[in-house]
Amino acid sequence: DSGVTQTPKHLITATGQRVTLRCSPRSGDLSVYWYQQSLDQGLQFLIQYYNGEERAKGNILERFSAQQFPDLHSELNLSSLELGDSALYFCASSMDGTDTQYFGPGTRLTVL
Amino acid sequence: AQKVTQAQTEISVVEKEDVTLDCVYETRDTTYYLFWYKQPPSGELVFLIRRNSFDEQNEISGRYSWNFQKSTSSFNFTITASQVVDSAVYFCALRPNDQTGANNLFFGTGTRLTVIP
């Protein structure tokens, strides 16, 4: 158990819908990262937050957004969902930006 | 540009055999970090090891060992006396020392290891 929690574990929804994925980092970790794992794209970095502020952006679609709250938990919002958004979404956390990233169990999103 | 190549897509070995997973990376940074993660069938990503670019000392941890060679930009992972529980997808990852503060990982495409009993 990495100490990073993600909810829900599974999510099934329809095209055009909006969902929110939630992540709680390990105790003491200030950085939160979101990654997407799909069959065709592999593991791709989406976005990083550090202590509530956006630190870096990767290949994150405009339909996707995220935030990190004062209690350091983070949410990834996916809107106008398409079939191609079906993937495993991981959250990771680290103490600061340079520390090892520990991953949560992931949220498997299925868009029908 | 940052890139990690894991040329071996799938490897099958018989239990108790040794197996080496290859990882080659590309980066222009002089300081960077390399990682190996394991993704068992249950799906989570488990951290195995982290190595920084200025420490080329090889490491052994139980049945696992890592061979970091800067000259060939490789960071290979060997499992000795493989066991069925080692069956998983293994990812090599690179984290450059980005001065902007971005610390995301660049992952390889993974190597699926199957250990046959």
Secondary structure (DSSP) of chain B:
--EEE----EEEEETT--EEE--EEE-S-SSEEEEEEEE-TT---EEEEEEETT----EEETTEEEEEEGGGTEEEEEESS--GGG-EEEEEEEEE--TTS----EE---EEEEEE-
Residue B46 with chain A: CB contacts under 8 Å: 2, 103
* A6-16 tens-digit pLDDT: 999 999 999 99
φ, ψ dihedrals at A84, nearest 5°:
-70, -10
CA atoms of A103 and B107, how far apart (whole Å)? 14
Give the pLDDT score at A41: 87
Q: Are A55 and B105 inside 8 Å of each other by CB?
A: no
Q: Are A56 and B44 inside 8 Å of each other by CB?
A: no
Residue B43 with chain A: CB contacts under 8 Å: 88, 105-106, 108
A 69-98 residues with CB < 8 A to B: 88, 90, 92, 94, 97-98
Residue B102 with chain A: CB contacts under 8 Å: 48, 55-56, 97
Give the pLDDT score at A59: 85
CA atoms of B91 and B108, how far apart (whole Å)? 6
* B50-105 tens-digit pLDDT: 998 888 888 888 999 999 999 999 999 999 999 999 999 999 999 987 766 678 89
Residue B1 with chain A: CB contacts under 8 Å: none
* A11-70 tens-digit pLDDT: 999 999 999 999 999 999 999 999 999 988 899 999 999 999 999 999 899 999 999 999
**A27 and chain B in contact, CB less than 8 A:** no
What's the DSSP call for residue A63?
A: T
